[in-house]
Chains A and B, each alone.
Chain A
Amino acid sequence: MEDPIYWPSFFFLLFSAIACAFAVAVVVTPNVVRMAFYLVLSLAATAGLFFLAGADFVGAMQIMIYVGGTLVLLIFGVMLTSQDRFISMKTSNFELGMATGVGVCLFILLAVAARSIPEWHGLTAQQVAEIPLEPTAAPLGMGLLGARVDSPDRSGYLLIFEIISVHLLVVLVGAAYLARARRSRSGFSLTSDG
């Protein structure tokens, strides 16, 4: 049966257009809070791309960690700029030129790398429809527990997972140590009227 609109392509183009457009907007806009907000939209559109690819766990992760994490950026933006009303950032022409150069180089590198993988292009809609949609959460979880479901002869990521979690725990403890209210030992106390 002929299909005039192929929805996955439509949504791929929609989400990627949103992601790219707001990524450019992040770079162009001078206001920090708007920048953070555009970053949120760009990252959320990327999450949409993950959902479109059937990777719902990674998509939810993208929303939770990246989009949710940008909240902190937004809060800092608000806290740093709300004293002067809507402060603007100016970038010099030199910085702009450097950033453009690096960005174009990175884009060319990624585009060439992506094109060089033969499995990633030349598929028809028919071939794509035949690729089975496999659940991703369980293999990911098993992989982090040390057992690879997709290729059982290879080891999982248990050690890496543990190292990262211990590292994060150390960071948390360190942050709590640095941020805790210091009890005055020498009769000297901090006052807020500075």
Chain B
Amino acid sequence: MADFFISIQIWPWLAYLAAALIQITLIVTLVAAGSLLFIWLERKVSGRIQDRLGPTRVGGKFGWLQTLADGLKLLTKEDLMPEGADEFLFKIAPYVSFCASLSAFMAIPFAGGEHPFVALHLNVAVFFILAVLGLEVFGVILAGYSSASKWSLFGAMREAAQVVSYEVPLGMCAVVPVLLAGSMDLVVIGDRQAGSFLNWYIFHDPFTFVIFWVYFTCATASVNRAPFDLAEAESELVAGFHTEYSGLRWSFFFMAEYGSMLAVSLLASILFLGGWHGPIPVASFLGLTFDHGFWYGVAGNVLGTANIIVKGIIGVTVMMWVRWTFPRLRIDQVITTCLKYCVPIAAVMFLGATFWQYKWPNGITGGQSARTYSVREQWSAPAVPAAAKPAEKAVKIEPQPLTTAMGIARTE
């Protein structure tokens, strides 16, 4: 986007500033509006599942202004702090959680093509997002420690035990689409699934279909949602790590929770569900691609953004459905689920997907051949001329599927 501003002849420093401000505004708006929507949706979904109506009065027919009323109530609450609390850590903990959840959105692309809609086009976006989402735990543990309350500390310690169990299978699941696409760049992963829903990685082979559900389980655990919400466990620990929080600081924890729910759902839809490429390729039917011109492509990308956000909202809704349907697991059951079941399943499915990719690298129908080769040539193009004569080593390794899994050299 900065290049666009430079191209219309303004100072480079102003161009970078303008691009950064626009991107920051869009991301913050998405997360804030997302939380507004999701809190209302959570109330409605839980109400319907429990055979109630949910909010009906505030703002007319469906109670759709309920979140705003909640927000006003939270703003007017007193900002309490327990007497023995560690003041600095107590105050900063909600912001740590919120920052981690918000930073993940920096690297999430919302549409691809030649000019992807992404704030920070990283070559290793999958890795970056998994790393940053893991930092949300810091806020939970700091909150639990600094509150000087045994309930908070119990919550924090449960969270610590939970982290070490879900991170391993989560990483293994995210590796499979990286292996299939031959890149850790989310824009490339999304664009490799272009076309109809048959090209989505969830339908690539039976192994990826299983691994999607493992990913979803681990992602639910990673955002502390029931049945994995042991850190707050309101029936046992009062409210767990946020027992002592009130008002705005408390609501920051919830913005962080809803933000990371949206983030893992968007990541799931890019990795497995085609990202901005719909079940039906509407944008390419209408000719809205970058081949027809810049603004056509932008229009297509706007459609793609709407597409991926709808997928993200569906993902979050499924998480709510799960939350209000299943009972909470015990801490040993959580660790058993993640380490004893998810890790072996993910490992076997990873091996299966590897062999499938080795045997049928272009899919069973052979429909993906053109794209596969374009990716490999992209990689080998800068390597081979530089390697010149003694390049046999690099060339020999090149046809193996592993090389493409390490990420692709982008030749722009």
Contact = CB atoms under 8 A, between A and B. Distances in A.
Our verdict on whether A and B bind, yes or no, reads yes
Interface of A: 1-7, 31, 33-34, 37, 40, 56-57, 59-61, 63-64, 67-68, 71, 74-75, 78-79, 82, 85-86, 135-142, 145-147, 149-150, 152-153
Given A37-B138, A56-B124, A149-B383, A63 B131 contact: yes
A68 B184 CA distance: 20
A4 B16 CA distance: 12
A4 B124 contact: no
8 closest residue pairs by CB, A with B: A141-B406, A137-B407, A64-B131, A63-B131, A5-B13, A152-B387, A60-B128, A138-B409
A7 B148 contact: no
B134 A146 contact: no
Contact of A34 (B86, B379, B383, B397): B86
A85 B405 CA distance: 49
B295 to A, nearest CB: 27
Contacts of A33: 86, 89, 142, 145-146
A6 B17 CA distance: 11
Of B131, B142, B153, B157, the most chain A CB neighbours within 10 A belong to B131
A81 B95 CA distance: 24
Interface in B105-139: 122-124, 127-128, 130-132, 134-135, 137-138
Contacts of A82: 145, 153
Among A59, A78, A85, max chain B CB count under 10 A is at: A78
B18 to A, nearest CB: 12
Interface string B377-396: 00100110011101101100
A40 B132 CA distance: 12
A139 B403 CA distance: 10
B86 A31 contact: yes
A149 B141 contact: no
Contacts, number: 132
Contacts of A2: 11
Contacts of B141: 71, 74-75, 78
17 contacts: A1-B11, A3-B12, A6-B13, A34-B88, A60-B128, A63-B128, A64-B127, A64-B134, A67-B131, A71-B160, A78-B145, A135-B409, A137-B407, A138-B379, A141-B405, A147-B394, A152-B391
Nearest to A144: B406
B403 A34 contact: no
Contact of B393 (A37, A139, A152): A152
Interface string B148-161: 10000100110010
Interface of B is mostly: helix
Contacts of B391: 152
Nearest to B407: A137
Contacts of A146: 393, 397
A147 B397 contact: yes
B163 interface: yes
B105 to A, nearest CB: 15
**Residue from B17, B124, B390 with most neighbouring chain A CB atoms (10 Å):** B124
B410 interface: yes
Contacts of A6: 13
Contacts of B402: 145
A86 B402 CA distance: 49
A117 B346 CA distance: 47
Contacts of A57: 123-124, 127, 407
B84 A85 contact: yes
A38 B216 CA distance: 33
A6 B131 CA distance: 29
Contacts of B194: none
Contact of B148 (A56, A85, A140, A153): A85
Contacts of A140: 406
Interface string B173-190: 000000000001000000
A35 to B, nearest CB: 11
